[in-house]
Structure 1
Amino acid sequence: MKEGVTKSVATDILPWRVVQRVWRYGQIGGGIEAFESKKKKNCGHKKLSFNPDAIKDVPLRQRRTLRDLANALHMSKTTLFRRLKEGRFRRHTNAIKFTLTEDNMKARVQFCIQMLDSQSIPDEPTFKSLYNIVYIDEKWFYRTKPDKNYYLSLDEPNPRRNVKSKNFIDKVMFLAAKARPRFDEYGECTFDGKIGIFPFTYWEAAKRSSRNRERGTMELKAMTSITRDIIRNYLIEKVLPAIKHKWPNEERGLPIFIQQDNAKTHIAVDDPAFLSVAQEDGWDIRLTCQPPNSPDLNVLDLGFFAALQSLFQKSSPSNIEEIETNVIKAYEEYPADRSNHVFLTLQGCMREIMLAKGGQHYAIPHMKKRSLERNGQLPIRLQCDKQIYLDAVDFINT
């Protein structure tokens, strides 16, 4: 050691003599090994034996909580929690699924096969780019949720949130229309794919006076019943004009498909009033339906609505008008690159549906899209294994 080093290392808490003594102790002991613990390695309380396979013998109804599972395994809840942290078993949130008939499963597989590029099927089946599809669907947005989590200081009072009835919280239904965004060769967004989100609301004059407003004041009301005629009017008066206004000029005249689900309030694909407006001025806009019981084949239900709901919940609307404003704001602020990721997730789900023979019990595939995007390797279309395609064709034919 150079002269003066021990004095420079020493502090008010660690005196100079202590530093010198520690240094000499290390020299005599042979280095850093001299400071290792002299306790025996396998000391302390031994771990209780735990067999993860024993969980399989416990009925599912007794695995809802750690306490129930610990009682079934005749062990401590704390010990079981430690095994969970060690990764010896896992926690799973189970979502209920639709009951699918054989016809439903074949229709789902057939739909996924139709989303493959016909020119790529013989050699390497590849999904279409999905640029000419506009996905539409409806969703309710509530003013608030019955339960919300907050982080508060120790001396801060609990927030007060009041509604007249927990069963009748103010809500507004919206019709959303979303297409896949476009990017140029430099990664700049040229078309965000946001056709629009349209609230089912109307203005009405107040029928009587109150302490909040005078009789005759115009108030924004939410539609409580959505009929087929209303859906038709929204498609003709709002969705179609928005598509014609925002669609890229270089793609005008090419076929555009509006995909909807099979709700009873939706119009038929050959509705005369819709077709007359959709085919005007050289446009070729058609209406299609996704397979029954298939929310995983619509980008809105697959991930876009959940992200939009998360953004909307960060606001605190107090009335119908603020709900409408905040939902539209969240829709406009949602990044185009993230919505583009949902379209790749849709292609991955279609591949899993073909592999599962039309079933819906599969894990949504993850492909590290953000990492691929940073490295400039994010694909536009996903490939499907040729054997998966052949097995799916055999499933439909048999």
Structure 2
Amino acid sequence: MDHFLYRDGKLFAEDVPVSEIAAAVGTPFYCYSTATFERHFRLFDEALEGTDHLVCYAMKASSNQAILKTLAALGAGMDVVSGGEYARAKAAGVPGERIVFSGVGKTRDEIHAALTGGLRQFNVESEPEMAVINEVALELGVVAPITVRVNPDVDAKTHAKIATGKSENKFGIPISRAREVYAHAASLPGLKVIGIDVHIGSQLTQLEPFRLAYRKVAELTETLRADGHDIQRLDLGGGLGIPYERSNEAPPLPVEYGAMVKEELGHLGCEIEIEPGRLIAGNAGIMVSKVIYVKEGEDREFMIVDGAMNDLIRPAMYEAHHDIIPVVEPTPGEEPAAYDIVGPVCETGDTFAKSRTMAKVEAGDLIAFRSAGAYGAVMSSEYNTRPLIPEVLVNGDQFAVIRRRPTFDEMINRDTIPEWL
């Protein structure tokens, strides 16, 4: 569910007409719904009710500070994967004890920043990383809390570029080596082993891969406890998918996921951490764009819009589908048309959809890309010297620009010309 609905023939974001926002900030832009963010967070929190748990929002999905503050006010923790994300979380007022630091390539500087600024734990991905965390912790005179990310070799049945739990993926240590790696971690004086971490991928639409992975984690928990490790916390990652295509079967609900977690892991008495990103943010945002031209091709019509692959790269990178709708609701019975929907970037890959059937449009019409709240703005760039587009947050009948569009001068003046030129 989201809060982008038609009223009297106009698309609204909560109680604000999308066309009103477009008139104020220009196109293209991202628009987010506070109510949707809050609802989706609460669905996860309530799904784990009755267990000791923390829902840590995966910031890589959408990391504007206004979004972080919205979720932190509800009690969310944050899952960060870089020093920049850690700094964003702290700037948004998230306390260190609610920040989990994940990622396969943590640098010494990032480790130092997190240990001095405070954190809940490092999710350790390799033995070399473990050694560096130990060294930095000893230099600072502190003990670093860690979990070790295990790779359970489970096929998440998702897009190859976002699968993380198979043996050929770069993430974690093979679960078959877990006992020796945990024994080594326990021998390092700068570390305190507190739990196990697992994350098998993103945009999962079935519970079975989670179930298989969590059963392996349950077995490992009992094995490691028998070896003398005090396993108190299980970090289960994120990955639950969203319905990008409204006609498709809906992925499992958070309540179904929570019931499965309790069934597979509840007997262990561990604190549960989950790190949803896409399901919290995805349907909480749309990208709004304007039609520049409708162009007649040899055997098709092209809808050329002012949004481009640098603004929303998922279709180009993942062949991802986004439902695309007009901001003015089509008249019932109106004959639709088929378009290749493309942007102005000089790449054939700057294509959002091919032969997409939808209401007829004309130059100047507004369209909205649904389910664009996750991995949209955070993956955008200034390719073709196109400015990063505004982000707008709606709350009831109010809206605010939470990231403005830079001017060309601001972009160009970041360049530095060498003296010899």
Q: TM-score range by the shorter chain?
A: under 0.3
Structure number having the greater helix percentage: 1
| TM-score (normalizing by structure 2) | 0.22
Structure number having the greater strand percentage: 2
| Bigger Cα Rg | 1
